Amino acid sequence: MSDLKVSDRATVDMDSWVCPVPLRDSPNIVMGHGGGGAMSGELVEHLFLPAFGASAVAGLSDSAVVSVGGVRLAFSTDSFVVKPMTFPGGSIGDLAVNGTVNDVAMSGARPLVLSTAFILEEGTTLASIAHVAEAVGAAAQIAGVKLVTGDTKVVDSGHGDGVYINTSGIGIIDEGIDIRPERARPGDVVIVSGDIGVHGVAILSCREGLEFGTTIRSDTAALNGLVADMIATGADLHVMRDPTRGGVAASLNEIARSAGVGVSLSERALPVPPEVRDACGLLGLDPLYVANEGKLLAFVDPADADKVLAAMRNNPLGGRAAIIGSVVAEHPGMVVAKTGLGGTRVVDLPAGEQLPRIC
Amino acid sequence: MSDLKVSDRATVDMDSWVCPVPLRDSPNIVMGHGGGGAMSGELVEHLFLPAFGASAVAGLSDSAVVSVGGVRLAFSTDSFVVKPMTFPGGSIGDLAVNGTVNDVAMSGARPLVLSTAFILEEGTTLASIAHVAEAVGAAAQIAGVKLVTGDTKVVDSGHGDGVYINTSGIGIIDEGIDIRPERARPGDVVIVSGDIGVHGVAILSCREGLEFGTTIRSDTAALNGLVADMIATGADLHVMRDPTRGGVAASLNEIARSAGVGVSLSERALPVPPEVRDACGLLGLDPLYVANEGKLLAFVDPADADKVLAAMRNNPLGGRAAIIGSVVAEHPGMVVAKTGLGGTRVVDLPAGEQLPRIC
C-alpha cells in the first residue's frame, strides 16, 4: 500500500544520513545557508535535490514555468523573515507581495494571484499584525494582483519572531515570450533598473545600534509594470532577474553559470547612491552584494538596448536605469568587473550572508 | 508615484489601530488563533480581510479556484509548524505535501505541482533537514505531484523550531466538475472516508509526557487518488473537505454555514478506532474535534451515495468509509448530532485550539 511507504520512513535512523562533502564544514544549519549565495546553493544542490529525488524538477529555481492545459504559467514561492518587521520604506508585508510578484514577473509573466500564509508568534500584538496585513493589501492593490487563498498558523512564544509570511504567486506568460537565464549570450547588454544596495542598507540602518545619520528607505516595489513596459517595446529580452539576497553579484553569477557565459561589468557604470556608498564604506560592505527589493537586471539583445533603456527610464521605477556591462564569451561562468582605477577584479558568488534576514 | 504610497504607510502610528470588537478579548495573538476554529475565523474575518481590503477575494478559503486562459485552476497554500517534526506515521515533510495536495483535491482538482519553502532554524542538524526533505520527495512521488520551485530561509536560533515548511499547490479542474461548500443541500448524504481523530491523537501520544500504551500512527496521506476514484463514478459530488484542524466538527460547521443548511450527524455511525476513543477519554477530548490528515468528508446526492461509497471502499484510503449523517433544511448553519443514547447535541464550531501545532 503506497501510504505505508511514507509511514515506515519515519522510523529511519537519523544518524544513518551521511552529510555530502560540500556541506561538511558544519553538521548544522548556519545563517549563511539562508543568504542566497554559494552556501544556499550547496544546500539545494547537495541536500534538497538529492532528498527530493525524482519528485523535483532540475534546478528548483526562484520561479517555475508550468504548462497547464495549453497555458504557460509562472509559479513562484518565497517566505519572508525580515527583521525588523517594519523598516524605513516598508514592512514585511510589502516585501512579501513585491518579492513574489517580482519573481513571477522575471520570467516575463503577468502576475495574477497570490496566496498568503502567516506564521504568527504567540504574544504578538494584533495591531502590528493588522498593519502588516494592511501593507499586504495595499501592495497587492498597487501590483494589481488578487489575494485568493491563505493560511494562518500560530507558534508558541519563543519559536517565531512576530510574523513570518509566505507568498506564492501565479502569472501567465503570453505567447512569444521566452525569458530565462539560459538565454544570456555573448554580446548581450546588461541593464540595471536603478540604484543598487538600497534595501539592504535600509534594513541595516534601522537595526539597533547602527545609525548612519541619514535615513535610507527600502526600494521595495512591484516591478511587473516596468516589465510590461519593457516587453511592450517588442525587444528581444533574454534574461531578467531581481537581485535580492546576495545582490547584483549573486544574480549575475547565477546567470553566468546557467548560460555558460561570462559577464563583464563596469564598476563606474553602477548606480550607487552616495548614502549607500557611505554606509557600505563604514561597514566594509560591497554594494554589489547588498540586497535590492525593487530593482531588476535585464540581459538584452544589443540591437534593442536603446529602446529598452528608453522604456525603462519612462517608468518611475526605472528612472535611473543604466547599462552596467555586457555578456562575453570569455571566462564562462564568471563575473569580472572593470574597476574605477582601470584594473579588473573577479566578482565572486558570495559564500554566505552579509546581512542576515533582510527579506 | 504609486510606490511612495506603500513607503509612507510604514510611518503610520501603530497605536492608532482600533481592535475590532470580536477580537477584543485579547490584544495579542494567542495559540487559539491558529486552531482552525472560531478564533481563527474571527482573525480572518475581522483582521485580515478588512486589512487586505479590495485586494482580497471574499472568504480567502483553503483553496481558490482561478480561471486562467480558459483553464480552471485550484490554488492552495499551507504552512506547517507541527511539533515534533517527526512522529509515528510520518513527519512534517509528509504533512506538508499531503496537506496541500488534499486542499487542492477537495475542489475536485487534479494536483499537478507544488512549491516548497523552508524556514530553517540556525543550529538544526542537516541530517534532520535531509530526512524531512526525503519525506517531502517520497510523499510527492506517491501523490504524483512535481516539486517545481522552492525557497530556503534561515532564522536565528530561538526564532524557529527546527523547520517550518510552506507548500503551495496548483491543480487543474476538469470540465463539468463543481465541488464547493455552497453546493451542500438538504438530502445530501454525508460520508467520511475512514477512522477519525487519528492524526491528532498520534501527535499528542508522542509529545513528551503523554503516553497511552499503544502507538497510534498518523493517518497522513494524499487523497487525490481517492478523489479521482470518486469522480470516476460520475456521481454528483457536491462538497468535499479534509477535516484537519478543528476536526470533523469544524469542517461540517463551515460547510453548514457556507451553504446555509443544517447537518444532522449520527454519533453511532462515526468510525472512531478504540485506541483513539480511549486516548480521547483519558484526555477529555472529543474525537469530532481532533485533526485528521488523511481523511475526507463528502456531501453527495443521495441517489449516488451507494456507488460513491463502493468506489471509496475499493481504495485502500477509503476502506472504512461510512455514511455519518445527512444535510437537513432545519437548523441552518448548525451541526446537530444524535447521541448514542438517543438524545441530540449541538456540535459547535470549536473556539480555539484543543491541540496546538498539530500540522
Neighbours of B340 (CB within 10 A): 10
Judge if B166 and B185 occupy the same domain: no
Whether B79 shows a pLDDT value over 80: the answer reads yes
Any domain includes A331:
yes
Judge if B193 and B329 occupy the same domain: yes
Q: For residues B29, B30, B34 and B36, what is the CA-based torsion angle, rounded to 10 degrees?
A: -120
pLDDT (average), residues A129-136: 97
Q: Is A123 exposed, middle or buried (0-12, 13-18, 19+ CB in 10 A)?
A: middle
Coil, strand or helix: which one is B349?
coil
Whether A14 shows a pLDDT value over 70: the answer reads no
Read off the pLDDT band of B340 (50, 70, 90): confident
Number of domains in chain B: 2
Q: For residues A95, A97, A99 and A103, what is the CA-based torsion angle, rounded to 10 degrees?
A: 180
Read off the pLDDT band of A104 (50, 70, 90): very high
pLDDT tens profile B21-43: 778 778 999 999 999 899 999 99
Whether A265 shows a pLDDT value over 70: the answer reads yes
ipTM of predicted assembly, 2 dp: 0.94
Name the domain boundary from B124, B144, B172. Answer: B172
Cross-chain residue pair A112–B66, CB shorter than 8 Å: yes
C-alpha cell at A282: 563604514
Residues of A in contact with B26 (CB under 8 A): 126
What's chain A's Rg over C-alpha atoms? 21
For residue B242, give the nearest of B269, B258, B228, B223 by alpha carbon.
Answer: B223
Q: What is the DSSP letter of A125?
A: B
pLDDT (average), residues B160-166: 98
pLDDT tens profile A172-194: 999 999 999 999 999 999 999 99
Please report the pLDDT score of residue A58 as a whole number. 75
pLDDT (average), residues A106-120: 98
Judge if A190 and A278 occupy the same domain: yes
- When CB atoms are compared, the residue of B7, B53, B148 closest to A90 is B7
Please report the pLDDT score of residue B15 as a whole number. 59
Whether A304 shows a pLDDT value over 50: the answer reads yes
Judge if B322 and B197 occupy the same domain: yes
Any domain includes B20:
no
Judge if A150 and A194 occupy the same domain: no
Rounded to the nearest angstrom, the minimum Cα separation between B341 and chain A is 36
Rounded to the nearest angstrom, the minimum Cα separation between A27 and chain B is 6
Any domain includes A327:
yes
Cross-chain residue pair A7–B217, CB shorter than 8 Å: yes
Orientation angle between helical segments B126-143 and B92-105, nearest 10 degrees: 30
CA dist., res. B160 & res. B121, Å (int): 5
CA dist., res. B270 & res. B195, Å (int): 8
Any domain includes B99:
yes
Q: Exposed e or buried b for every residue in A92-116, given b needs 16+ CB within 10 A?
A: bbbbbbbbbbbbbbbbbbbbbbbbb
Please report the pLDDT score of residue A212 as a whole number. 64
Residues of A in contact with B351 (CB under 8 A): none
C-alpha cell at B245: 484542524
- State which residue of chain B sits closest to A221, comparing Cα positions: B3
Who has greater pLDDT, A211 or A142?
A142
Coil, strand or helix: which one is B9?
helix
Distances (CA, A) of B195 to B116, B188, B210: 29, 21, 22
Tell me which residue range forms the domain holding A322.
181-346
Those residues whose C-beta lies under 8 Å from the C-beta of residue B59, and which sit 6 or more positions away, are none
Name the domain boundary from B140, B172, B204. Answer: B172
Please report the pLDDT score of residue A190 as a whole number. 98
Judge if B95 and B124 occupy the same domain: yes
Read off the pLDDT band of B7 (50, 70, 90): very low
Whether A21 shows a pLDDT value over 80: the answer reads no
Who has greater pLDDT, A229 or A57?
A229
Any domain includes B356:
no
Residues of A in contact with B29 (CB under 8 A): 120-126, 129, 154
Read off the pLDDT band of B3 (50, 70, 90): very low
- When CB atoms are compared, the residue of B12, B68, B166 closest to A71 is B68
pLDDT tens profile B309-324: 999 999 999 999 999 9
Judge if B121 and B213 occupy the same domain: no
- When CB atoms are compared, the residue of A63, A75, A141 closest to B113 is A75
CA dist., res. A307 & res. A310, Å (int): 5
Amino acid at A291: A
Whether A83 shows a pLDDT value over 80: the answer reads yes
pLDDT tens profile B188-234: 999 999 999 999 999 988 885 566 667 899 999 999 999 999 999 99
Cross-chain residue pair B52–A112, CB shorter than 8 Å: no
Average pLDDT value over all residues in chain A: 92
Whether A195 shows a pLDDT value over 90: the answer reads yes
Whether B12 shows a pLDDT value over 70: the answer reads no
Judge if A190 and A297 occupy the same domain: yes
CA dist., res. A250 & res. A201, Å (int): 17
C-alpha cell at A304: 534593442
% of chain B exceeding 70 in pLDDT: 93
Judge if B105 and B216 occupy the same domain: no
Residues of A in contact with B220 (CB under 8 A): 3, 6-7
Cell 454555514, residue? B257
Cross-chain residue pair A60–B154, CB shorter than 8 Å: no
Judge if A158 and A248 occupy the same domain: no
Name the domain boundary from B139, B172, B205. Answer: B172
CA dist., res. B141 & res. B153, Å (int): 24
CATH classification at residue A301? 3.90.650.10
- When CB atoms are compared, the residue of B33, B55, B220 closest to A147 is B55
CA dist., res. B187 & res. B289, Å (int): 24
Q: What is the DSSP letter of A318?
A: G
CATH classification at residue A86? 3.30.1330.10
Coil, strand or helix: which one is B171?
strand
Read off the pLDDT band of B14 (50, 70, 90): low
Read off the pLDDT band of A99 (50, 70, 90): very high
Give the number of A-B residue pairs with CB atoms closer than 8 Å.
405
Q: Exposed e or buried b for every residue in B286-319, given b needs 16+ CB within 10 A?
A: ebbbbbbbbbbbbbbbeebbeebbebbbebebbe
Read off the pLDDT band of A5 (50, 70, 90): very low
Any domain includes B55:
no
Please report the pLDDT score of residue B210 as a whole number. 66
Rounded to the nearest angstrom, the minimum Cα separation between A43 and chain B is 9
Please report the pLDDT score of residue A205 as a whole number. 85
Whether B129 shows a pLDDT value over 90: the answer reads yes
Cross-chain residue pair B170–A75, CB shorter than 8 Å: yes
Judge if B208 and B316 occupy the same domain: yes
CA dist., res. B43 & res. B23, Å (int): 7
Cross-chain residue pair A14–B127, CB shorter than 8 Å: yes
Cell 500504551, residue? B213
Our CA angle for A122, A124, A129, nearest 5°, is 120
CB B53 within 8 A of CB A93: no
Cross-chain residue pair A138–B6, CB shorter than 8 Å: yes
Judge if B131 and B71 occupy the same domain: yes
Any domain includes A3:
no
CB A29 within 8 A of CB A23: no
Backbone region of residue B59 per phi and psi (left: phi > 0; alpha: psi in -120 to 50; beta: other values): left
Neighbours of A303 (CB within 10 A): 11
CA dist., res. B217 & res. B223, Å (int): 17
Q: Which of A146-150, A338-342, B95-99, B108-112 has the lowest mean pLDDT?
A: A338-342
CA dist., res. A28 & res. B346, Å (int): 50
Any domain includes B58:
no
Whether B66 shows a pLDDT value over 60: the answer reads yes
